[in-house]
C-alpha cells in the first residue's frame, strides 16, 4: 500500500536517543513499504533494524518485501511507471541516473545531506549526487581487492606483492601443474565467472590502478584503449583462468590459490567449518597510482511518498546506516564500515581496516552520466569472456570493445 494513498496529519517531534536524533511519530499511524533484493543473511539483519526502528517510533509500521536480485530492476521500474513503487527501495548505483532523470526519487533533506558529508566516506554521497542534489543513503559498498593465502606465501618463502608488476613476477613461482599440464595450484587468479557485472568490476579495478577509466570525463567516448589500458588488460588476460569456471572459488577454498581477488565479504563466506588456512586482505595493488573502482547500492525514497511518511522513510534509512546498526552488517557479512567513526571502532580488525582504506580511495567503476550503463556492462562483460578464453587478443578486445561502447554511449538517453 502506497503512503501516497493515505491522508496523514502528524506532528513530528525530535528526541535524543543513544546520542542520535530519532523522530517519534506519535499521532496517526504511518505505514511504509520497503523493497530489497533477496539475500538471506542481509535481509535478516535488515529486519532487525526495521523492528528496532518501529520500537523506537511506535507510530510507524514497515512492510518489508524482497525479490530476487535478477528481478529487482524490472520490479522497481514497473512500480515507478505504474505508480505502485514502494516507499523505500534498495537500488544499484548505475540505476540512479535513470531514476533521478525520470523524477522517481525524493531529494534528500538537508539534515541527511549534512550527515552524509560529515560522517561518511566520499563515495557515499558522490554516487548519489546529480545536478548538485543528493538522492540516497548508502546501503553498502562493493569493494574489490587482493586476498592472500598466507600459508602458500610462507611455504614458498615469498613476500606479499605491492604492485601489479610484482604480482606478475611472483605469481608464476607458486604455479604447479599436473602431469596433463592442468593447474594443481595457481599463484594468482581472478574470479572470471560469467556473472553479470563482476568481470567488468574486476577489469575496472586493474584499469584504475593504471590511471585509466572505462569512459572519459563527460561520458562521450570510451577511454581505455590507451597504453595504460593495454597494460591493465594484459594483466587481466594473464590472470584469467576460464578453464576453472565456477571452480575458481573452490580452488581458493581448497588452498590452491596464492592470491585471489574478491570483496570484503569473502571472509564471511568461508567454507563450512571455517577456513583451513590463514587468509589476509592485501593493500590495494599499485600500477601508476593507488586507486580502487567499485560500486554502491543505495536506499532511496519514492518521490510520491509525501509528508510525515517521507520524513519517516528518510529517518529509517539514516537509522540503518548509522554505526549501532551497521556494525551488525560488518560483523555478520564483513562489509566494510561506511563511516569514519565505525572504522575507528574496529581499526584493530586488519582485514576490515584494509578494505576500508581501499574504500576511501574508491570511485564508482561506472559513470554517473550514463543512464544505460547496464548495456555497457553487457558489452564489456561479453568481450572479457572472449578475452579470458583466448578467443580474441588484447588488441582485438580493446578495439572492438571501444567501438561497441562508443556506439552504446551515442544511444544513451
pLDDT recorded at residue 16: 30
Chain centroid, CA 252 distance in Å:
22
- Express each pLDDT in 309-329 by its tens digit: 999 999 999 999 999 999 999
- Express each pLDDT in 43-55 by its tens digit: 999 999 999 999 9
* Residue 279 to residue 337: CA distance in whole angstroms: 20
What are the residues facing 88 on neighbouring strands?
A: 34, 301
* Residue 355 to residue 284: CA distance in whole angstroms: 8
User: Residue 24 — very low, low, confident or very high, per pLDDT cuts 50/70/90?
Assistant: low
**Per-residue CA distances from 385 to 14, 207, 240, 356, 358 (Å):** 54, 17, 9, 30, 26
* pLDDT score of 267 more than 90: no
CB 365 within 8 A of CB 214: yes
User: Residue 270 — very low, low, confident or very high, per pLDDT cuts 50/70/90?
Assistant: confident
pLDDT recorded at residue 30: 94
- Express each pLDDT in 326-336 by its tens digit: 999 999 888 89
Q: 54: helix, coil or strand?
A: helix
Length of the chain: 413
pLDDT recorded at residue 194: 60
354-362 average pLDDT score = 90
pLDDT recorded at residue 318: 96
Q: Which of 260, 267, 258 is nearest to 152 (CA)?
A: 258
* pLDDT score of 4 more than 50: no
* Residue 234 to residue 228: CA distance in whole angstroms: 10
The mean pLDDT value of the chain amounts to 88
Own/partner pairs, 48-52, CB within 8 angstroms, 24+ separation: 48/328, 49/319, 49/320, 49/325, 49/328, 50/316, 50/320, 52/319, 52/325
pLDDT recorded at residue 246: 67
286-300 average pLDDT score = 88
Give me the percent of the chain exceeding a pLDDT of 90: 70
pLDDT recorded at residue 70: 87
Give me the percent of the chain exceeding a pLDDT of 70: 91
pLDDT recorded at residue 15: 32
CB 319 within 8 A of CB 170: no
User: Residue 368 — very low, low, confident or very high, per pLDDT cuts 50/70/90?
Assistant: very high
With a threshold of 0.85, does the pTM exceed it? yes
Q: 230: helix, coil or strand?
A: helix
* Residue 400 to residue 412: CA distance in whole angstroms: 19
* pLDDT score of 337 more than 50: yes
300-311 average pLDDT score = 96
- Express each pLDDT in 55-113 by its tens digit: 999 999 999 999 998 899 999 999 999 999 999 999 999 999 999 999 999 999 999 99
- Express each pLDDT in 206-263 by its tens digit: 999 999 999 999 999 999 999 999 999 999 999 998 777 668 888 899 999 999 998 8
Q: Which residues of 3-19 are buried (b: 16+ CB within 10 A; e: fewer)?
A: bbebebebeeeeeeeee
Count the helix, strand and coil residues of the chain and give each as a percent rounded to the nearest 5.
45, 20, 30
pLDDT recorded at residue 154: 96
Q: Which of 339, 406, 402, 280 is nearest to 141 (CA)?
A: 339
Amino acid at each position: 500500500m502506497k503512503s501516497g494513498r493515505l491522508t496523514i496529519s502528524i506532528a513530528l517531534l525530535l528526541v535524543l536517543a543513544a546520542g542520535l536524533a530519532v523522530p517519534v511519530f506519535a499521532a496517526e499511524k504511518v505505514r511504509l513499504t520497503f523493497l530489497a533484493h533477496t539475500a538471506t543473511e542481509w535481509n535478516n539483519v535488515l529486519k532487525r533494524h526495521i523492528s528496532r526502528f518501529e520500537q523506537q517510533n511506535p507510530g510507524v509500521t514497515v512492510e518489508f518485501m524482497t525479490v530476487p536480485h535478477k528481478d529487482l530492476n524490472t520490479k522497481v521500474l514497473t512500480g515507478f511507471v505504474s505508480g505502485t513503487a514502494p516507499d523505500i527501495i534498495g537500488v544499484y548505483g548505475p540505476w540512479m541516473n535513470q531514476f533521478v532523470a525520470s523524477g522517481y526519487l525524493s531529494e534528500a533533506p538537508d539534515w541527511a545531506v549534512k550527515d552524509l558529508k560529515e560522517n561518511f566516506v566520499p563515495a557515499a554521497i558522490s554516487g548519489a549526487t546529480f545536478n548538485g542534489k543528493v538522492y540516497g543513503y548508502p546501503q553498502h559498498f562493493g569493494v574489490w581487492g587482493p586476498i592472500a593465502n598466507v600459508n602458500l606465501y610462507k611455504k614458498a618463502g615469498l613476500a606479499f606483492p605491492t604492485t601489479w608488476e610484482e604480482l606478475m613476477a611472483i605469481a608464476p613461482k607458486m604455479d604447479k601443474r599436473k602431469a596433463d599440464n592442468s593447474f594443481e595450484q595457481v599463484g594468482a587468479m581472478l574470479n572470471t565467472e560469467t556473472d553479470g557485472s563482476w568481470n567488468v568490476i574486476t577489469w575496472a579495478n586493474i584499469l584504475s590502478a593504471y590511471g585509466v577509466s572505462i569512459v572519459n570525463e563527460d561520458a562521450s567516448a570510451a577511454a581505455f584503449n590507451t597504453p595504460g589500458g593495454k597494460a591493465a588488460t594484459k594483466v587481466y588476460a594473464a590472470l584469467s583462468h576460464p578453464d576453472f569456471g565456477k571452480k575458481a572459488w573452490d580452488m581458493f577454498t581448497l588452498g590452491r590459490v596464492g592470491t585471489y581477488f574478491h570483496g570484503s565479504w569473502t571472509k564471511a563466506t568461508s567454507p563450512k567449518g571455517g577456513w583451513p588456512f590463514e587468509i589476509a586482505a592485501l593493500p590495494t595493488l599499485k600500477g601508476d597510482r593507488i586507486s580502487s573502482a567499485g560500486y554502491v547500492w543505495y536506499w532511496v525514497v519514492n518521490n510520491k511518498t509525501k509528508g510525515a511518511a517521507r520524513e519517516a522513510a528518510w529517518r529509517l534509512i539514516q537509522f540503518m546506516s548509522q554505526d549501532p546498526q551497521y556494525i551488525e552488517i560488518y560483523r555478520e557479512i564483513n562489509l566494510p564500515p561506511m563511516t569514519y567513526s565505525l572504522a575507528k571502532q574496529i581499526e584493530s580488525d586488519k582485514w576490515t581496516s584494509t578494505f576500508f582504506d581501499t574504500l576511501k580511495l574508491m570511485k564508482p567503476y561506472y559513470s554517473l552520466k550514463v543512464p544505460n550503463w547496464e548495456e555497457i556492462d553487457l558489452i564489456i562483460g561479453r568481450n572479457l569472456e572472449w578475452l579470458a578464453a583466448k578467443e580474441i587478443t588484447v588488441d582485438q578486445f580493446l578495439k572492438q570493445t571501444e567501438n561497441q561502447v562508443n556506439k552504446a554511449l551515442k544511444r544513451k538517453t
